[in-house]
């Protein structure tokens, strides 16, 4: 996690493109669970027991869906830019990019900090895609060509976040109504 967050270029450049789905999948699961626990603890701080339970169930569920969608987007991005990504290497990019999830969960406690974390997430994603899916391609040209697909990826992530927030608000309203 520290390597991905502190030196994503070196991490993704040296990351094996093959080797199975288990290690990156397990890493992503741990990051999603950490995200869920942090979101759940914030819900408990606001005395939202239902929000806590919803966070523990919905965050990993929507996170797994996001990982699948992200994998497809990376694969399509690579193919659109004549890259050499496979389904497995695309999954590895998205799974290891999940290192940002716990940090993003903590950032939600402060106003505007999530925007900075999301911007850093975009940077990590671009670096990872260039290093893994598009090696040997000019990074500046690739970044400019990839911007529409990166925006699509980020909109998908934001849609998942908004869905999570709406579910949390509904849970909050439901728990207040039960009181």
Mind listing the pLDDT tens digit for each residue in 34-76? 988 888 888 888 777 777 888 888 888 888 888 898 889 888 8
Distance in angstroms (rounded) separating the CA atoms of residues 33 and 19: 23
Q: Alpha-carbon distance 28 to 20, whole Å?
A: 14
77-117 tens-digit pLDDT: 788 777 778 899 889 988 998 888 888 888 888 877 888 88
Please give the angle made by the CA atoms of 20, 24 and 28, to the nearest 5 degrees: 145
Q: Identify which of 39, 157, 136 has the alpha carbon closest to the alpha carbon of residue 94.
A: 157
C-alpha distances in angstroms, 11 versus 3, 104, 120, 142? Answer: 6, 20, 15, 19
| Per-domain residue ranges of the chain | 2-11+20-178
The structure's pTM equals 0.71
């Amino acid at each position: 996690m520290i390597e991905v967050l502190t030196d994503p270029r070196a991490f993704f450049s040296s990351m094996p493109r093959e080797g199975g789905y288990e290690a990156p999948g397990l890493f992503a699961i741990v990051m999603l669970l950490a995200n869920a626990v942090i979101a759940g603890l914030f819900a408990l701080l606001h005395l939202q027991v239902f929000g806590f339970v919803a966070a523990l169930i919905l965050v990993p569920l929507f996170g797994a869906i996001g990982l699948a969608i992200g994998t497809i987007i990376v694969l399509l991005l690579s193919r659109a830019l004549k890259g050499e990504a496979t389904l497995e290497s695309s999954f590895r990019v998205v799974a290891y990019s999940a290192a940002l999830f716990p940090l993003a969960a903590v950032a939600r406690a402060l106003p505007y900090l999530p925007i900075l974390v999301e911007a850093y997430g975009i940077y990590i994603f671009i670096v990872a895609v260039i290093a893994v899916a598009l090696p040997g391609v000019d990074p500046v040209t690739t970044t400019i060509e990839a911007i529409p697909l990166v925006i699509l990826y980020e909109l998908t992530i934001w849609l998942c976040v908004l869905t999570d927030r709406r579910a949390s608000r509904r849970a909050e309203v439901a728990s207040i109504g039960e009181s």
